[in-house]
Chains A and B, each alone.
Chain A
Amino acid sequence: MRVKLWGTRGSIPSPGPATVRYGGNTSCVQVTLSDGTLLVLDAGSGIRNMSLGDPARPIHILLTHLHLDHIQGLLFFSPLFDSQMQITIWGPDAPGGSLQDRIARYLSAPLTPVEVRELPCRLDFRDCPPSEWEIGPAHIRAEAVSHRGPTLGFRIDDAGASLCYLPDHEPAFAGPLEQLEPPWLSGHALAHETDLLIHDCQYTDEEYPRHFGWGHSSLSDALTFARRAGARRTLLTHHDPRHSDDELDALQALARERCQAGGGDPATIEMAAELAELQLSARASAP
């Protein structure tokens, strides 16, 4: 399974000289499965830059939720305008209409010049309740997680490796993370012993109290969640648009310091950077 980050910013695209290294595009992750099947996790502005491999392969877009920073790139994803392409968009089931209807509220006048029904690709929408299913060789698990509004987290298991994607997640909204037992810890089952956890870390600890309940995590909570879930490697993402590259460098240094102080390997924690690529391989089986 290959993973490439196309958008690591939260809330709103934040281009400029202060965000060159970590990137200014909003949430989007490309996952290429072991058989070449392409998954796209969220359709923030980063999706516009995504380079595709085999253009003949179907594409699956998995939306964690429909906040604007996770769907605003959809109309700029060129395969949607290719009549040869088969694209399936998966997103959370919710009251207020089908997934297609809810997305069409954004992809319609007066907000956009093109309507969903005008897109030339072969497009399929799948309301996705918390469940498990297969895409290509991968086992996909979706669960509702703590954020504002219906929001899914995803776990993808493929060829012995696993990825957990929780870009918008505030597990501490339910209580202090150190005190919650695993069944009461939002996202824990998805992230349990995953090879790669991509997790929300929008705020510093100092910023978090002013944003409690907004659906995002502080650095300390993200680290605590990753440790309690037993994630083998963690990328902290959904960077606040006000955080510059230098501030994210400092946050990463602090994260690694705390990880080490807690007995962990600091090299397993890093701030997610746009265009970063990772290869997830099967773990060696225990003898």
Chain B
Amino acid sequence: MSEQHPVEIILARGFMSNLMTAAFLVDPDGTLIFFNDAAGELLGVRFEEAGPMPAAEWGTRFVPRDDSGEPIPVDELPLTVALSRRQPAHGRMRVRSPAGAERAIEVHAMPIVGSTGMSGALAIFWETAGGDG
């Protein structure tokens, strides 16, 4: 019998698919299990091309840096904080797409808690002024 995601994660993906704002979805282990087309535009790659990624990979693949250009450790990224501390988290950062374009973004992440407990977290991104455009 195939395993599947909890219904709140399934519905979160459906919700995110219809957003025009960029959004990430991770499972309880921090594995990136979906990002929407708007996030794909921001990051320069579609989820269908990128596929699921463990936290260590997505946390570094897009090279998140703070305003001074220092890399942000994976465990300090808002999505990781939302998962580990079970609370909303907010942050600003710069990310670089695979094509090399740098974007300035703000991120708000929140945990998703279903009837079996923590089932993941989602993050919504806004692009702010200061990137390569």
B67 within 8 A of A: no
Q: Which of A203-247 contact B (CB under 8 A)?
A: none
Given contacts A93-B115, A188-B2, contact A144 B14 (CB under 8 A): no
Tell me which residues across on chain A come within 8 A of B8, comparing CB atoms: 144
A145 touches B17 (CB 8 A): no
A129 touches B2 (CB 8 A): no
**Tally of contact residues, B, Cβ under 8 A:** 16
Tell me which residues across on chain A come within 8 A of B2, comparing CB atoms: 182-183, 188-189, 192
Q: Which of B5-24 contact A (CB under 8 A)?
A: 5-8, 10-11, 13-14, 17
**Tally of contact residues, A, Cβ under 8 A:** 23
A192 touches B114 (CB 8 A): no
Tell me which residues across on chain A come within 8 A of B14, comparing CB atoms: 173-175
Could you tell me the distance in whole angstroms from the C-beta of A66 to the nearest C-beta in chain B? 14
A184 within 8 A of B: yes
A146 touches B1 (CB 8 A): no
Residue of B nearest to A185 (CB): B4
B4 touches A182 (CB 8 A): yes
Besides A144-B114, A144-B115, A189-B3, 4 other CB < 8 A contacts? Answer: A143-B7, A183-B5, A186-B10, A192-B2
Q: 28 A-B contacts, Cβ less than 8 Å apart?
A: A93-B115, A94-B115, A129-B115, A130-B115, A130-B116, A143-B7, A144-B6, A144-B7, A144-B8, A144-B115, A145-B7, A174-B10, A174-B11, A174-B13, A175-B13, A182-B2, A183-B2, A183-B4, A183-B5, A184-B10, A184-B13, A185-B10, A186-B4, A186-B7, A188-B2, A189-B1, A189-B4, A192-B1
A150 within 8 A of B: yes
Q: Which of A84-124 contact B (CB under 8 A)?
A: 92-94
B7 touches A146 (CB 8 A): yes
Residue of B nearest to A151 (CB): B7
Q: Which of B72-128 contact A (CB under 8 A)?
A: 114-116
